[in-house]
Amino acid sequence: MAINFIHISDTHHSELNTRISDKAPIGVEVIEYYSLNKKIRRKYLSQLLHNLIIEKKLKEHQIVIIGGHSLRNTCIGEDNKIGQFIISENGSPAEKIIPYYTYMKYKGLESDVVILLDVENHDPRWSKKSSLYTAMSRAKHLLYIISVKE
């Protein structure tokens, strides 16, 4: 029996007793990147988007970036151009445009690829296990976590 890595990695973030469906897609291991430096997290996000869209040929509508704060209060800041992509807060995906939502606004939705941005244990928005679980469980196939820590 294959393992759904996304489910396994997010169950310790929930106080709920969850069980994976036999029909759930098989995922791959969650990738987590750590840096205290905003510029380095931005650069990693740029490289990740380039890898997913240009190299792996995924489409923009398959990817969502989820954070705990408004876009300007993340490592993206006021400049929403990341490499060759535009990050659009609460927007729709289009060519070279990737949507960004807070996990509160993205409840009940899902995406093939989810990138959690600026996850920080000491941030009140991320410190609740249920908040992180909610955000992580939006990913259907690939989950990347860009964390604020060493």
Please state, for a pLDDT cut of 70, what percent of the chain lies above it: 83
115 CA to centre of own chain:
2
Judge contact between 148 and 120, C-beta under 8 A.
yes
For the segment 112-140, the average pLDDT, to the nearest whole number, is: 89
Task: Output the six-digit token pair for 140.
Answer: 């259907």
94: pLDDT strictly greater than 70: yes
pLDDT class of 3 with cuts at 50, 70, 90: very low
31: pLDDT strictly greater than 70: yes
What are the chain's domains? 30-147 (3.40.50.300)
d(CA 82, CA 51): 13
Hey, how many other C-beta atoms are within 10 angstroms of the C-beta on 61?
15
Amino acid at 51: N
4: pLDDT strictly greater than 60: no
Q: Which stretches within the chain are classed as H helix?
A: 5-11, 38-49, 124-127, 129-136
H or E segment to which residue 111 belongs: strand 111-119
Q: What is the pLDDT of residues 12-25, one digit of tens each?
A: 444 545 566 677 66
Q: What is the pLDDT of residue 12?
A: 45
97: pLDDT strictly greater than 90: yes
pLDDT class of 50 with cuts at 50, 70, 90: very high
d(CA 148, CA 130): 19
H or E segment to which residue 124 belongs: helix 124-127
CA 92 to each of CA 16, 53, 62, 102: distance values in angstroms, whole numbers, following the listed order: 32, 16, 11, 14
- Residue whose entry in the numeric block shows the structure tokens 């060519």: 95
pTM assigned to the model? 0.84
